[in-house]
Amino acid sequence: MSTALIILAAGQGTRMKSDRPKVLHEVAGAPLLVHAMKAGAALSPDRTVIVAGHGADEVASAAQAHDDSVAIALQSEQKGTAHAVAQARDALAGFDGDALVLYGDTPFISPETLARMAEARKSHDVVVLGFEAADPGRYGRLVMEGGRLDRIVEFKDATEAEKAITFCNSGVIAAAAPRLFDLIDAVGNDNASGEYYLTDIIGLARDRSLSATAIACDEAETLGVNSRVDLSAAEAAFQARARTAALDDGVTLVAPDTVHFAHDTVIGRDAVIEQNVVFGPGVTVESGAQIRAFSHLEGCHVARGAVIGPYARLRPGAELAEDTRIGNFVEVKNAVIDEGAKVNHLSYIGDAHLGAGTNIGAGTITCNYDGVMKHHTEIGRNVFIGSNTMLVAPVTIGDDAMTGSGSVITRDVPEGALAVARADQAVKPGMARKLFEILKFKKAKRQKEAG
């Protein structure tokens, strides 16, 4: 059966106290909306429709940056969840497969749960996702009769007996798309909020002798984000799951609670991650690599046997081959570093290629930016770059070459050559004492004048 996703992302989220659309607030380096899209992607949907409202242009941009095939439907007025789903009708014109309604602010529905919903759809016309709530609070209640879902009652409209029910509605619903829109057409707004509730389709389905059921998931999967407190809780929940998954996959986390993962971090078994390491989006660390303490990585690839840090920063485009070394207070950006090369201390390597076995001395900088454009530095194999060398790009250093410490290299260095580019040292006897005396006199004079 073909499937379409309808992801509701129109709300303003006033409790977030933000000018930013609620679904664009991030967990693990990705908008909440992207988490919902990734969850639904487990069903390999044929179509995805994002229903946007508040900040629609920003929401559409974020959604299409993740998947440029998604359609955007606009809900210009927020009149309830049924009204929101109805806005997806045109985008799904002629589609007769299943439609699954998800929420852009509910990021943690698991692929396994969605697969169970899809399986339940084979024997029921409408399937709802529910959960047993530790504190049912103001959630809608699922009224079951055996294995059949009789109705969903919003908290505002529930009787005392219905409020005692702990099986609650997540809002996630699956049905055949034509039937879903047909049921929505019959939804009214005669309720305490004057809104068109998507939940009312269950009673309408019952009245038409259609079969409805609810499957249960863990309450943690249904965590919705409506405030900064919720956002913090969602981040904590994601990190806890990511750390457990990494440990279960054979990754060593020296101090798990201090490691911060992104939504797409990939780490191979037997990698060692020390304390206070932060992974931004787009990082792959191969098996057996070591990321030492207080390092920050984003948009990079680290091959097996590499050692990164401590206190290193890998920025987007950093590609590190096997057995490389990136050490203390080293920053690497948009650079390929070949097997066995080392950048151990206090250096910046940007827009560059380092050949195998090359050693970069402390304080080296690839001067890659001229104020308008970026330029490339090419360093060959088995090169020794002396400490405090400035490599003014574009420049090429040949294989087996060397630069003297403190050099400013502005021209290419041939293979096997030594390049030294610094002024001659001048020594002036006694001048240091005289200069200190002059400076101390000036300082005392200023202090006296200051009163």
Residue listed under structure tokens 């070394």: 325
- Identify residue 422 by its one-letter amino acid code: R
Closest to 154 in 3D by CA, of 197, 106, 94? 197
Is residue 218 located within the same domain as residue 237? no
Question: Which pLDDT value is given to residue 425?
Answer: 86
- State the Rg of the chain over Cα: 30
Do 241 and 218 touch, CB atoms closer than 8 A? no
Is residue 11 located within the same domain as residue 157? yes
Query: How many whole angstroms separate alpha carbon 19 and alpha carbon 328?
Result: 39
State yes or no: is 345 an active-site residue: yes
Question: Which pLDDT value is given to residue 190?
Answer: 85
Report the run of H or E that residue 243 belongs to, with start and end: helix 228-248
Assigned domain for 435 exists: no
Is residue 245 located within the same domain as residue 157? no
Question: Which pLDDT value is given to residue 13?
Answer: 82
Does residue 372 sit in helix, strand or coil? coil
Query: How many whole angstroms separate alpha carbon 421 and alpha carbon 253?
Result: 45
Is residue 314 located within the same domain as residue 363? yes
Assigned domain for 451 exists: no
Which structural domain range is residue 240 located in?
228-419
Question: Which pLDDT value is given to residue 116?
Answer: 96
Assigned domain for 428 exists: no
Question: Which pLDDT value is given to residue 423?
Answer: 87
Question: Which pLDDT value is given to residue 1?
Answer: 74
Give, in order, the Cα–Cα distances in Å from 72 to each of 12, 44, 75, 79, 215: 17, 18, 10, 18, 29
Question: Which pLDDT value is given to residue 281?
Answer: 98
- Identify residue 265 by its one-letter amino acid code: T
Is residue 187 located within the same domain as residue 74? yes
Q: Give 136-139's long-range contacts (Cβ < 8 A, gap of 24+).
A: 136/163, 136/165, 136/166, 136/168, 139/168, 139/169
Partners of 342 in the beta sheet? 325, 359
Residue 410 tokens, joined: 């502005």
Assigned domain for 112 exists: yes
Which of 222, 240, 265 marks a domain boundary?
Answer: 222
Q: Look up the CATH number of the domain holding residue 94.
A: 3.90.550.10
Q: What is the pLDDT along the chain (451 residues), one digit of tens a residue?
A: 799 999 999 988 889 999 999 999 999 999 999 999 999 999 999 999 999 999 999 999 999 999 999 999 999 988 999 999 999 999 999 999 999 999 999 999 999 999 999 999 999 999 999 999 999 988 999 999 989 999 999 888 899 999 999 999 999 999 999 999 999 999 999 877 889 999 999 999 999 999 999 999 999 999 999 999 999 999 999 999 999 999 999 999 999 999 999 999 999 999 999 999 999 999 999 999 999 999 999 999 999 999 999 999 999 999 999 999 999 999 999 999 999 999 999 999 999 999 999 999 999 999 999 999 999 999 999 999 999 999 999 999 999 999 999 999 999 999 999 999 998 889 999 999 999 999 999 999 999 898 7
Q: What is the DSSP letter of 423?
A: P
Residue 18 tokens, joined: 């933000």
Q: How many domains does the chain have?
A: 2
Q: Out of 345, 353, 375, 376, pick the active-site residue.
A: 345
Partners of 335 in the beta sheet? 352
